Amino acid sequence: MNDRVVMPIWMVGVFIVVMNTTMFNVSIPSIIHDFHITANLGSWIISSYSIGYALSTMIYSRLSDSVPMRKLLLVGLTILGLSSVFGIFAHNFSMLLAVRIVQSAGAGTMAGLGLVMASRYIPYDRRGRAIAMISTGSAMAFGFGPIIGGVISEYFGFNGLFAVSCLILLVLPVLMRLLPKEEPKPLNFDVLGAILTIVNVGTLLISIMQRSVFWFTGSLFSFVVHVWHLRRGKKETFINPKLFAKKDYRKLTVVGFCVLVLNLGNLFLMPLALANLSGESAIAIGLTIAPGALLSAVLTRFVGRWIDRYGNIRFLLIGHSVLAIVLAVFSFAVEASPLVILCGYLCFSPSFSATLSSLNNETSRILPKQLVGSGMGLMQLIQFFGGSVSVAVFGMVLALQKNIPLGLAYENVYRILLAVCLLSLAIVVWYKQTASKSDNLPRITV
């Protein structure tokens, strides 16, 4: 496989898929108005996609251990593309929500299979730059999504957003031609384990978003049932218990959770701060965020090479340090000027991309070949879960501070993000000092 050709095309696919989330953020007010629904119900347009995206990412990654990636890609992107076509004609809320859920069932293909493909087919000395491209596709989508979504919603309505997602059907035949052919293996797919995972994640997210004791109790019960399922001794479970026996992997998954909390939490807070503290319009907000995403794209080729040359741990430490500095500035000066957010995100976005790329590259390094599919899939699931939780939690934290000055409320939330960043940095330092030698894999010296 020629990764120098495949990975830029894959990055475009990731950009389209992830932007399918960020574009809809700016259209929620008009959806609520047009369908005469509550804000809580309207938020499910975003939440349902995020939950489905996280779960489908792991399912496709897990299936890649047995099913050829080309077949999974064909199924996933076809589902995403065709459901997007139906979305153009969705003129009631029920149909719109159904389309978003079906979209999410196919969207996880790009993120899940991208890391598996890089881990499986790209030599380790070039893998860093390949994974950096995947992270950059996501970063660009987070930055440009609000701009593109705002323009399309303004002139064509929210149905026009689905036309952008249809572009994935142009990427599909190109990737089908370029990806290597694989021989199918015996399918050992744990259906019950997959269902329990979906129930675990779905009920836990709902309990957080709805602040429901009922849903939280149901989620705890589903986790107990899942633990019982894992201990039954079944040979091939959806979540491989061997992963939890690896101390290094457990530490990296916590870092992955924290890093996505930082990114999606910041992306949730910046537009609100710009709108509520500075009175910026949707287009102006997008233009403030876009330069950081563009800089991430420009630096992709360099960051990937630097990771390959200097090692993952060094960039995990550098990336976390820059993220902490930016969050510290935001926690004391976010209301000073839109320029603070503009300059801060110019540093934040490339640092996040480098951190996520080095994290995923290090995870692929420590996993044995037979655990790459399940291990990278679970890592992706935990990352997206962290991002989904951050939006719900920080929204509630802002609401609880309604009796204090608005600027101080945003700064307090950024102080929470700073604490999460410092915790993640401490775990990276701990990982560097105590990385297990039991993996019998070469360790990068930094």
pLDDT tens digits, residue range 171-188? 888 888 888 787 777 767
Residue 344's contacts (CB-CB under 8 Å, 6 or more residues apart) are: 326, 329, 330
Q: What is the DSSP letter of 122?
A: S
pLDDT tens digits, residue range 204-234? 877 877 778 888 898 899 999 988 888 876 6
Distance CA 186, CA 120 (A): 18
Consecutive H or E run containing 249: helix 247-278
pLDDT for residue 376 is more than 90: no
Distance CA 51, CA 204 (A): 11
At 437, the pLDDT band (50, 70, 90 cuts) reads very low
At 443, the pLDDT band (50, 70, 90 cuts) reads very low
Neighbours of 187 (CB within 10 A): 10
Length of the chain: 446
More confident residue, 160 or 307: 160
Distance CA 162, CA 24 (A): 10
133 contacts 258 by C-beta, under 8 angstroms? no
Helix (H, G, I), strand (E, B) or coil at 445: coil
Tell me what the pLDDT averaged over the chain comes to. 81
Distance CA 211, CA 219 (A): 13
pLDDT tens digits, residue range 81-117? 999 999 898 888 889 889 998 998 888 888 778 877 8
pLDDT of residue 317: 92
- Which CATH entry fits the domain spanning 3-180+238-434: 3.90.1530.10, 3.40.50.300, 3.20.20.70, 1.20.1250.20? 1.20.1250.20
At 235, the pLDDT band (50, 70, 90 cuts) reads low
C-alpha count within 13 angstroms, C-beta hemisphere, residue 277? 24
Neighbours of 15 (CB within 10 A): 25
pLDDT tens digits, residue range 243-258? 888 888 889 999 999 9
pLDDT tens digits, residue range 279-288? 877 677 778 8
Q: What is the CA radius of gyration of the chain?
A: 21
Helical segments of 157-245, H only: 161-165, 168-178, 191-210, 213-230
Q: What is the DSSP letter of 237?
A: -
pLDDT tens digits, residue range 22-68? 787 667 667 777 788 765 566 677 767 877 887 888 788 778 777 88
Distance CA 260, CA 323 (A): 12
Burial 330-357 (b: 16+ CB within 10 A, else e): bbeebbeebebbbebbbbbbbbbbbbbb
pLDDT of residue 132: 73
Domain limits, the chain:
3-180+238-434, 190-237
